[in-house]
């Protein structure tokens, strides 16, 4: 029972979860739309009738059903592209480091590895 004159209890963090989840879902949908766009651009360069062409065609068709292009989303699309670019730039030093480390740890005879000592 509330105390008269007392401030109402603070909202629990769970009260904001649906709003946060909606924002995250919208951002994820933007990424899926970008993936559909990228796959669609790659499709003409793939050999028609090849397994990869079939897989990409099927994937684009399935994804497009769930992430249809809508008008008025240019701002969301641009924000998604900007976020993806930022993530790629942020990860670039780590990727370069991992590649450099991987080159030093390749087993003898692996492509790019020094030849095994005889």
Instruction: Measure the CA–CA gap between 72 and 79, rounded to whole angstroms.
Output: 13
Note whether residue 36 is domain-resident: yes
- Residue 47 included in any domain: yes
Domain annotation covers residue 38? yes
pLDDT band at 68 (very low <50, low <70, confident <90, very high): confident
Domain membership flag for residue 74? yes
Please indicate, yes or no, if residue 116 is contained in any of the structural domains: no
Is the CB of residue 90 less than 8 Å from the CB of residue 84? no
12 lies in a domain?
Answer: no
Average pLDDT over residues 86-112: 70
Question: Whole-model pTM?
Answer: 0.47
C-alpha 114/C-alpha 105 separation (Å) is 10
Query: Per residue in 5-45, pLDDT tens?
Result: 555 555 555 555 566 687 788 888 888 888 888 899 999 99
Does 62 reside within a domain?
A: yes
**Confidence category of residue 50, pLDDT binned at 50, 70, 90:** very high
Looking at residue 53, what is its pLDDT? 93
85 in a domain, yes or no? yes
3-state class percentages of the chain: helix first, strand second, coil last, to nearest 5: 70, 0, 30
Domain containing residue 89 = 18-101
């Amino acid at each position: 029972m509330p105390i008269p004159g007392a401030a109402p209890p603070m909202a629990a963090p769970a009260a904001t979860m649906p709003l946060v989840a909606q924002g995250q879902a919208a951002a994820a949908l933007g990424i899926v739309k970008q993936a559909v766009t990228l796959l669609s651009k790659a499709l003409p360069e793939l050999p028609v009738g090849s397994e990869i062409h079939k897989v990409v065609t099927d994937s684009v068709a399935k994804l497009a059903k769930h992430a249809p292009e809508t008008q008025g989303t240019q701002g969301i699309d641009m924000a998604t592209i900007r976020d993806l670019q930022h993530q790629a730039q942020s990860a670039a030093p780590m990727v370069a480091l991992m590649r450099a480390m991987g080159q030093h740890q390749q087993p003898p005879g692996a492509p790019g590895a020094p030849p095994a000592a005889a």
